[in-house]
């Protein structure tokens, strides 16, 4: 029988030595993996599902995922609170929020060396700072427009004034001003002869709508929209194409090219690499990978936005406007103006509209 003479002191020495050895050996391995996982902010499904699938194929880093909660601008105070060390590298966002991030100096400049696939993207879609530097990596263009579920809706909607029909009692899902940067009231203003610089006609229309009792719910996020339309709680709303991709079980009719009173607001969505990021190279690499031809087509199929990569194919007919149709039915709003007015519009919604609901 083998006899062991291991004392307690020897055991402790051996444990300490093996601990040091393990730690020493693991350092190069850790360094090879990269300093820390990439931190990506994205919207809920379908966006995050699509990005996760693409990131899994990319596979160059672990990723910590964060979801936008509420409107896309709600990430801004979180970045502000933690600046200059926010825990994010790459943020998925859209036109109005790009401008706020550029204004704050948070968006890293992008070049073709960082993202070679931007060569296939029209330069007009890329947000720029005052010096003309590129500040984002666009992924898709899309629209925000009125849509309704014909099977659940008591009337056919052909004109903006149909929203005031008494038959639509409690059937309208109205986005609050922080969703879509209040484009819904810009759309109402457009229908009554105003625009984003003259919003009074739009607010008067919305007050009429609130008084009519037709607004059944005020949506505050994408899941509100999907749940409300899927369950038949409401049947009409003003929403972006990406969110509608999450509505699977309810047939919808998109009112993008039906009447001049029902306008579609066009925007760009995509990535911003934060200037504070310590993982810029990886962040640019992932952003670049998401906009190659194959992934742009996947983005169209799963998220439903028109990919900005000119080589990618898509078939979103209701967002494909001819020159004449674009003139009649679509609007490209002044995003900078919208961003600056949102505070006042939100207060006006609180004081003039909510008490009537």
> What whole-number distance in Å separates Cα of residue 118 and Cα of residue 125?
10
Contact string (CB under 8 A) for another protein, positions 187-226, x = contact: --------------------------x-xxxxxx---x--
In sequence order, what DSSP letters do the residues of 142-184 get, joined into one string?
A: EEEEEEE-TTT-SS---SGGGGG-GGGTT-EEEEPTTTGGGHH
Nearest distance, CB of residue 322 and another protein, angstroms: 35
Of residues 300 and 345, the one with the C-beta less far from another protein:
345
Is beta strand 215-219 parallel, antiparallel or unpaired with respect to 172-175? Answer: parallel
Task: State yes or no: residue 357 binds another protein (CB under 8 A).
Answer: yes
Minimum separation from the CB atom of position 83 to another protein (A): 9
Cβ proximity to another protein, 268 vs 342, nearer residue: 342
Q: 323 or 355, CB closer to another protein?
A: 355
344 binds another protein (CB under 8 A): yes
* CB 93, min distance to another protein, A: 14
Site string for another protein, 148-187 (x = CB under 8 A): ---------------------xxx--x-x-x---------
Q: Are 300 and 306 in contact (CB under 8 A)?
A: yes
Sole binder of another protein in the list 69, 109, 158, 278 (CB under 8 A)? 69
Selected from 100, 142, 277, 309, the binder of another protein by CB under 8 A is 100
Which of these, 44, 41, 42, 40, lies nearest to 224 by C-alpha position? 44
Alpha carbons 338 and 353: distance in angstroms, whole number: 19
**Which of 45, 46, 71, 202 touches another protein (CB under 8 A)?**
71
For another protein, give the closer residue by CB, 216 or 333: 216
DSSP one-letter code for 232 = T
Q: Please enumerate in sequence order all residues whose Cβ is within 8 A of that of 150, keeping only pairs 6 or more positions apart, or say none.
A: 156, 251, 253
* Stretch near another protein under the rule CB under 8 A, chosen from 111-119, 183-191, 282-290, 333-341: 333-341
Site string for another protein, 222-251 (x = CB under 8 A): --x---x--xxxx-----------------
Whether 218 and 357 have beta carbons less than 8 Å apart is answered as yes
Collapsing DSSP to helix, strand or coil, 131 comes out as coil
Interaction between residue 147 and another protein (CB under 8 A): no
Distance CA 71, CA 346 (A): 12
**For the chain, where are the E strands, in sequence order?**
38-42, 63-67, 90-94, 137-148, 172-175, 215-219, 236-240, 253-254, 264-273, 306-307, 330-331
Site of interaction with another protein (CB under 8 A): 69-71, 73-74, 76-77, 79-80, 100, 103-104, 169-171, 174, 176, 178, 213, 215-220, 224, 228, 231-234, 336, 339-344, 346-347, 350-352, 354-355, 357
């Amino acid at each position: 029988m083998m006899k062991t003479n291991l004392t307690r002191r020897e055991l402790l020495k051996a444990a300490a030595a093996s601990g040091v050895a393990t730690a020493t050996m693991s350092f190069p391995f850790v360094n090879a993996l990269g300093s820390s996982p990439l931190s990506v902010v994205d919207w809920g499904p379908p966006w995050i599902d699509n990005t996760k699938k693409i990131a899994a194929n990319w596979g160059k880093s672990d990723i910590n995922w964060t979801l936008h909660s509420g409107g896309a601008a709600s990430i801004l105070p979180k970045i502000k609170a933690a600046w200059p060390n926010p825990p994010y590298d790459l943020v998925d966002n859209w036109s109005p929020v790009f401008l706020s991030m550029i204004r704050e100096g948070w968006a890293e400049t992008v070049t073709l060396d960082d993202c070679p696939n931007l060569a296939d993207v029209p330069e007009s879609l890329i947000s720029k700072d005052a010096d003309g530097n590129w500040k984002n990596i666009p992924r898709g263009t899309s629209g925000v427009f009125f849509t309704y579920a014909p099977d659940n809706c008591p009337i056919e909607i052909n004109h903006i004034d149909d929203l005031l029909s008494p038959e639509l009692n409690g059937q309208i899902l109205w986005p609050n001003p922080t969703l879509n940067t209040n484009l819904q009231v810009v759309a109402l203003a457009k229908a009554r002869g105003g625009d984003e610089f003259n919003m009074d006609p739009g607010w008067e229309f919305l007050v009429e709508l609130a008084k009519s009792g037709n607004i059944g719910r005020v949506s505050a996020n994408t899941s509100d929209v999907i749940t409300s339309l899927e369950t038949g709680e409401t049947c009409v709303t003003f929403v972006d194409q990406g969110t509608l991709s999450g509505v699977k079980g309810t047939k919808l009719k998109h009112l993008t090219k039906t009447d001049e009173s029902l306008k579609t607001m066009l925007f760009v969505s995509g990535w911003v690499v934060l200037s504070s990021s310590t993982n810029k190279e990886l962040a640019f690499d992932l952003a670049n990978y998401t906009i190659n031809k194959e992934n742009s087509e996947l983005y169209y199929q799963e998220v439903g936005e028109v990919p900005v990569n000119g080589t990618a194919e898509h078939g979103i007919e209701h967002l494909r406007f001819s020159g004449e149709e674009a003139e009649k039915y679509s609007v490209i709003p002044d995003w900078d103006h919208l961003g600056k007015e949102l505070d006042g519009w939100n207060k006006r919604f609180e004081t003039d509209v909510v008490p009537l609901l």
